[in-house]
Structure 1
Amino acid sequence: MSVSSDSYPLTGMASRFVEQLTQCRKLKLKVLEGSGKHVLIELPYDTQLVGYPDTGVIHGGVITTLMDTASGCAVVCSIFDKFRLLEISPTLDLRVDYMKPAEPHKPVFGFAECYKLSSSVAFTRAIAYQDSIDDPIAHAVGSFMRISPEMVGEEFRQALIGGDEYA
């Protein structure tokens, strides 16, 4: 899938955010789109992620990690887009409703949006799907703590926005 940086100006920063997280590198998560409104991340199928060897179905914990990461990334992008500030936003709460197992041998996509920013909490909703967002594997809603930009280390800040024209 080709992504235009003009259409999704925060894709680079979102990708660098995901690359900073060890579990995301291990899962080979790839940011396809990043904007102030949403994030779309791809989880490629890998037999090492299978929770049920008899069926080839990816473990539910991996889907939860995808949705938590997409949601947290959406918060970072939303705050940056709105305030031009980089904040770290750990997960306070994440509720995931599973609707069906992912089909084996196919990637899973995590779409998340940050739909509300208060002074101390960001609220998200997310969908994990394969062929169509209208046929979800799981839905999630989450809340993320907003921590002051002063708490972001300089090394992390530079890793995320150092060379980004959008920053």
Structure 2
Amino acid sequence: MSTDAESGFDPAVSDDLILRLPQARALGLQIRAFGAGRAEIHMPFAAQLVGDPETGVIHGGAVSTLMDTCGGASVMAHPQVEGHTATISLRIDYLRAATPGQGITARAECHHVTRSVAFVRAVALDEDEDRPVAMATGTFTVPQMRGDAPEGAA
């Protein structure tokens, strides 16, 4: 995912999003891409995020927060959506333990929007980007639509 002007990435907007979310700040989340219904957020490895001291693996709750935040950001980045969103539902399938000592990056896409609900797909990856740590699907509120509602909006 690109972070240049073509992608619509605005560091000021993305920084503002993280600054408004105390939990995102506590996890050290960093938005790397934001625009066109897509978002990419990185969570650096930190010892206080480890869920099991014996394995050194980041806790699933931190991964859940990362994926939820990234999903919401992808909705806010959608060209038809204006304003903030809230999670309606989020299903996360954990596929494997993250590699100890590595940060995790989530990538989310808002792939469908109706007048009231946005649908999102997301993946979480550590540095071994060929093998996802988790995958998620979610629904989020749509606070306001820009212009005409998308085709098929309910």
Which ranges in structure 2 are unaligned for 5 or more consecutive residues? 146-154
Query: Aligned residue for 1:82?
Result: 80
Kindly provide the amino acid, as one letter, of the partner of residue 130 in structure 1: D
Tell me the CA shift for residue 63 of structure 1. 0.3
TM-score of the aligned structures, taking structure 2 as reference length: 0.86
Distance 1:37 1:148 in 2: 15
TM-score of the aligned structures, taking structure 1 as reference length: 0.80
Preserved contact between residue 18 and residue 69 of structure 1 (Cα < 8 Å): no
Distance 2:125 2:140 in 1: 22
- CA displacement 1:5-56 (0-9 Å, x = unmatched): 3133234223321221000000010011111131111100000000101110
Query: Aligned residue for 1:31?
Result: 31
- CA change 1:133–1:117 in 2 (3 A) is farther
Kindly provide the amino acid, as one letter, of the partner of residue 80 in structure 2: K
Tell me the CA shift for residue 133 of structure 1. 3.9
Query: Aligned residue for 1:102?
Result: 98
Distance 2:88 2:113 in 1: 14
CA RMSD of aligned residues (A): 1.7
How many pairs align? 143
Runs of 4+ in structure 1 over 6 Å off = none
Preserved contact between residue 18 and residue 29 of structure 1 (Cα < 8 Å): yes
- CA change 1:133–1:118 in 2 (3 A) is farther
Preserved contact between residue 75 and residue 124 of structure 1 (Cα < 8 Å): yes
Preserved contact between residue 3 and residue 32 of structure 2 (Cα < 8 Å): no
**Which has the higher mean CA deviation after the structures are superposed, 52-61 or 123-132?**
123-132
Distance 2:104 2:118 in 1: 25
Kindly provide the amino acid, as one letter, of the partner of residue 113 in structure 1: E
Kindly provide the amino acid, as one letter, of the partner of residue 65 in structure 1: T
**Which has the higher mean CA deviation after the structures are superposed, 4-13 or 138-147?**
4-13
Distance 1:142 1:4 in 2: 24
Kindly provide the amino acid, as one letter, of the partner of residue 24 in structure 2: C
Percent identity for Structure 1 against Structure 2: 34
